[in-house]
Amino acid sequence: MAGEALDFKSQFYNLEGIHVNERKKSLSQLLRRYPNNIDNTQIDIQPRNYLERIFYVDVLIHFRKTEELTKILKEGNGVLTSKILKEKWFFQQVFEKMDEKDIVYSFLPSLSCSLRAKVLKKLALSLTEEKMDKIVEHVLARYGINATEQILFSCSESKFLEILSKYDLNLQPEQLKRILQKNPELIKKYFEKYKDTHGKDYGNIDFLNYLCWKQPTLYFGFELNKKQLKLGRYTTRNVLKNNQDEVIKDISIQQHKLKKSVLTRDIEDFHIKCLSKLLPEKLQDLESFRNQEILNRFISTYPKKKRFEIMSQVFKIKYNKNLEDHLQLFNRDFAWVFPENIRHKWASLMYTQKNDSVYLSYYPPKLGFEIIKEKLNLTSNARQRSTYLNQLIPLCYINKDYATYEEVLKYISIRHRNDGLEDVLRYIYNNSDPELFTANHWKYIRELIDIETIKGRFPINANPYLVYLVEKNLPLDEVLKQHMRDRFKIINIFRLNDINKPKIESILLRKMEKLISDSPPSERKRHAICVLKSIMSFNEDFPAFSVDLNTCENIIGFMKETCKKEEPYEDQDFSLISSLLKYNSLNLDNSLKICDDDRLLEVIKQMGKNKLTSCIFYKSIDEFIAKQPRTEFGERLLDLYLSDFFGEIIKQQYYITTIVPRLLQNEPSVFKKYLHSILKNNLALDYKYRVIKNYSHLGLDRQIINHFIPLVNAPNDNENLVFKALSNLMDTKEYIDIIQTYLPREKKLNLRSEDDASLYKIQVQVIKSLKNLSEPLQLIPVLPTLLQGDYLQISLKLLYRILNQVNENEASGYVESLKKQPVSLRKHSVSLGFILLPINEAVSLFNAVSKTENNISVKKYLLRSILKYFIRNPSPFLLDIVVSNLENITVNDDELLQEVAESVNKVPNRYKCGYVEKVWDRFEEFNDDLKLTNSKLTVLRFINQLNLDLFSNFDERFCEKVIKKYFLTENTTLNVNGFVLRYLVANQTESRFKFVFEIIKNYKNKHDKTMKLLFTFFNSACNKFDLYDVSFLKTFTQYWHEIFTQTEHFSGYCDLKLLEIYRNNISNVQAFAKDVNEYFEALTSQYGHYINLFLFESVNSLFSRIHSGNSDDFTLEKFAVHLLKANMSEMNCFIAMNIVTQEYNDFETNEVIEILKEQKNHIGEVFYYSLLKQYSAF
């Protein structure tokens, strides 16, 4: 047995392989050879390095040694615990039989704060509902609702609903997804509670997308109007299977979320059932870009041949008009929808109406050509001539008339040779199908290219002509020579940019390479490099059609010339060698041999040490030596790269070498070979220290440590690099020992002293480096020397980080000790307590500090801390503590006053009213309205957002106190009109109405001339009446009438009566208009026609106020129509006329005008011609 144990340990300590993956494989093979029930003595391993510690955990997991794994879990090393957290069996085996109270009160305190949350989540995923219910109870009691929310998904339905009823939960999408998988009904309950709590629908778009994907029926049951939601094809189909009726009913919202192509395909007669609903009610509004965009998006999903037919049907359904009679409403996006004859008619209308030559492109080609020629003959302005010429090309392309296209090209080449043709050629490139061009088309295009070339303006987009020559097997050389000469003056690369023609592009590139020798001698090398770049780019995009550089004699010749040269090298030489290396790195089996390896290395060496060497050159070497397997030349180049001019590479500001991380990742032994050079040149490896720690068996970590230790106390410019490397790689105790000289000796330094300033700079780097250490517990003794004087601020983050990684029991003692520290540190004991400790301990610590604290700054900090903690973990006793600490606010602390005011919105609803009352009372104690205005306005804003059920929880005395002081008060900037209105609505008792209207009555009696404040309140009330039940409106009206007679407030009487009529006919505009007519007749008989303006203003006000979700039929214009149909009285004609004038519409489609036109009496004719006169002005 001893021999077997020794054998296992011996093999563990001597795993085969250099690369970490090889060692992992060796460990896996070793573990498979041993049974799972191996005795503990056989795995009594003492890890010697970082990798062995990781492997040791793998061994313990394999053999399921829960006792040892539990110990490691408690130590809190992030790398090791992450492996344990993945093992569900571990949590089941360790905790299934452990008492729930022991888990929460004994085990969890042995973990750090950050690890505790992860373990709780793993328990929630591993244990039964019954056990988790009990754990949740204990977690709630010990750590509060904030911690409990993270594991609530694991509870039984009854426990979840119990907690949901007691707390205003704020669950994250991840938790909601788990709840949805487990019990979709709980999501419904959560959403209902969320809306009740927040007064709005749940709005996380990511989760709503997920919900709609997984449970579309459940989603549509919530009626969540979230336009941001975007669903794909599959999910849209899934939605329509079960919820098509809901989608059709609410298409205006759902169309933003669902895939439009699926809607039009899967909903039968979609254009009839839905699309017409998406168009605006008023015909003229269709002209807006937004409305046309909606229509176009749907129309484009139909087959091309059906689009116009569909559009016409929708137009007829919506407006009962013929679309062809209203073509002028549509923009150019619809030109492609119209059939040819309709498009020509539309273009004529638009050109006549807008006088914009762009519409000539949509004319019949022959006619458009003639019009444009005529305009060119009459135009001398160069810019305008260019515009007309350019329109000729899309004119032919849009109409697919290539016969006229040929005539146009001929016309331009003969008549407009002196005009600028660069844009014309660009238009040809973008508006043509080269497959439909004939030889004559290309002949004229070639003439245009030649004309521009002679002028020194080479057209970049001449590529289609080259393609044509290749496809037709026509003579190419002379054209291509000219093309190379002209193109390479402007741009140093040639690409067709056509993914469908790689074979043709390959032919052109090969031909170009052959023609390099025919280029002017002074241009040959530059042309060779341009063609080479083109080939390299092409080969990368189309490897199947790649051009073999071994066949490119001209390029090879220039490469050989460069290899024979001595310094100085030109930019072109660098390009040639860079391309050579890049090509060979991509073609290991068909590499290009220019000269012997020794000479090529010598050239690269000379180039690499040149100060003008670009990062592109270094990158080509980098990519070449990264390829595996490396040839002998590759090994020599690697050695040259990392040994001879690696320092120059590091100095390149715009290039970061990739070979070093690649070597570390893939070839650690090669990395070790060159590590000295890497370190010597100060290459930062901070992003790879964890990988380096895996290679202790190669001594990488120790080599780096040995390199940097001598630099700790030596002046240098790389303190950050030194301390970052050592803190990541050394053991915590070892590192603390070597930095002792830099730990603060004094609280203060003389930063004006050069020596002290230099020392402080290093100390800052040292303190920042401590966060990298793997054993934070060992840092606690060091903290007191850091948390003082000039070092406090830079050490605070470290304090929080360390204590967040230390187990709760250890952290508790240290946090407790902080309350005895100076004021600058003392206040952090409380905030740390709230983060790290259980609720009772945290509150006890807070109470202990606050009782003895006299410093004003700390007291304010304490208020902020307890307020944030209460919001995270609401409870009655925490609310009492918050309220008692409100006395720490001072009138001049604007920032804290505003924070407290804004906290009203964050406090859970069950505590909100009580909290608001206490905050308001505290604000009132200052007796300084001017300084408290912003804070009080903030509180009032949040109060006015509360739902009525919640508002009704305010104490009556509080409400009366606010109203008495601020309602209808002259010398205050606080507007409490909204508060007063909600006070009346929330509890519609006689006593409340009498209380408010007594104040109104007194105000009226004191202000008989101007009552601005009172009428402002009245208007505020009228703006909200349609949101509340009609009984409230009637009661308000009754009390208002008791104070004002109709003559005193005529417009107010009208406003209230119209609101009442509207509420009685809220979905029927015809019945509404009928009742309004009766009311107007009664008023007219009493007051005469002189009140017409008052009545019109009241009607206008009503329609501007109503918030209802009525259909689009309940509009001001529809009301005008039905008002006239009810009675053609003078009053009604006047009101209708004013509405139509205000709501400008197309004369022919306006029903009001049509009704007036049909009247034969004098008054009807007067109003008809009056409107006719007004409309003619438009």
Confidence of residue 1147 (pLDDT cuts 50, 70, 90): very low
Is the model's pLDDT at 616 over the cut of 50?
yes
Alpha-carbon gap, residue 799 to 961, rounded angstroms: 47
Decide if pLDDT at 257 tops 60.
yes
Q: What does the DSSP 8-state code read for residue 112?
A: B
Residue 1130: what residue type? E
Render pLDDT for 1066-1079 as a digit per residue (tens, 0 to 9): 878 899 999 999 99
How far CA 18 is from CA of 53, 105, 629, 971, 1088, in Å, comes to: 17, 46, 17, 84, 105
Does residue 229 surpass a pLDDT of 70?
no
| Better-scored residue on pLDDT, 218 or 474 | 474
Q: How do residues 564-600 score in pLDDT, each as one tens digit?
A: 998 888 889 999 999 999 999 998 889 999 999 999 9
In this predicted structure, the answer to whether residue 457 has a pLDDT above a threshold of 80 is no
Each residue's pLDDT tens digit, 346-375: 999 999 888 888 899 999 999 999 999 999
Q: What are phi and psi of 36, to 5 degrees?
A: -70, -20
Which residue is listed with tokens 């001339």? 1009
5 vs 1058 pLDDT, higher one: 1058
Distance CA 440, CA 462 (A): 16
Using pLDDT thresholds of 50, 70 and 90, give the confidence band for residue 458: low
Provide, rounded to the nearest whole percent, the portion of the chain with pLDDT above 70. 93
pLDDT > 70? residue 1045: yes
* Mean of pLDDT values over 112-137: 96
DSSP code string of 600-619 = HHHHHHHHHT-TT--HHHHH
Q: Which pLDDT tens digit goes with each residue over 371-405?
A: 999 999 988 888 889 999 999 999 999 999 999 99
> Hey, what are 940's tokens?
């009032």
Q: What is the pLDDT of residue 1178?
A: 35
Distances from the Cα of 839 to the Cαs of 142, 851, 878, 1139, in angstroms? 6, 18, 10, 65
Q: Can you tell me the distance from the alpha carbon of 445 to that of 462, in angstroms, rounded to the nearest whole number?
A: 9
Quick: pLDDT tens for 183-214.
Answer: 999 999 999 998 888 878 888 888 988 888 88
Handedness of CA 567, 570, 571, 577 (dihedral sign): negative
Per-residue confidence (pLDDT) for residue 1107, from 0 to 100: 56
Distance CA 683, CA 671 (A): 13
pLDDT of res. 1172: 61
**933-960: average pLDDT:** 92
Q: What are the phi and psi torsion angles at 1101 (to 5°)? A: -60, -40
422-431: per-residue pLDDT in tens? 888 888 888 8
Is 1125:1155 a contact under the CB 8 Å cutoff?
Answer: yes
Instruction: Tell me how crowded residue 1099 is: count the other CB atoms within 10 A of its CB.
Output: 23
- Reported as a pLDDT band with limits 50, 70 and 90, residue 681 is confident
* Separation of alpha carbons 973 and 958, rounded Å: 20
Under DSSP, the state recorded for 569 is: P
Contacts of 398 (CB under 8 A, 6+ apart): 335, 361, 362, 431
Report how far residue 1105's alpha carbon sits from residue 944's, in angstroms, rounded to the nearest whole number: 18
Give CA–CA dist 1023/1066, Å, rounded.
16
**Most confident range, picked from 233-247, 265-279, 530-544, 1113-1127:** 530-544
pLDDT of residue 482: 86
- Per-residue pLDDT for 334 more than 60? yes
**Cα distance from N-terminal residue to C-terminal residue, the chain:** 105
- Contacts of residues 694-699 at CB distance under 8 Å and 24 or more positions apart, as own/partner, are 694/20, 694/50, 694/51, 694/54, 695/20, 695/51, 695/668, 696/48, 696/49, 696/50, 696/51, 696/52, 697/18, 697/23, 697/49, 697/51, 698/18, 698/668, 698/669, 698/672, 699/672
Place of tokens 């004699």: 553
Contacts of 525 (CB under 8 A, 6+ apart): 558, 572
Alpha helices, DSSP H, located in 972-1091: 977-986, 990-1006, 1012-1024, 1030-1043, 1050-1064, 1069-1087
Q: What are phi and psi of 112, to 5 degrees?
A: -75, 165
User: Across all residues in the chain, what is the average pLDDT?
Assistant: 88
Rounded CA separation 19/183 (Å): 47
CA distance 823 to 1013: 50
Q: Can you tell me the distance from the alpha carbon of 191 to that of 183, in angstroms, rounded to the nearest whole number?
A: 13
List, for residues 778-796, the tens digit of each pLDDT value. Answer: 899 999 999 988 889 999 9
Could you tell me how far CA 278 lies from the centroid of its own chain?
28
What is the reported pLDDT for 973? Answer: 80
- Say which residue, 983 or 286, is predicted with more confidence: 983
Band (pLDDT 50/70/90 cuts) for residue 299 is confident
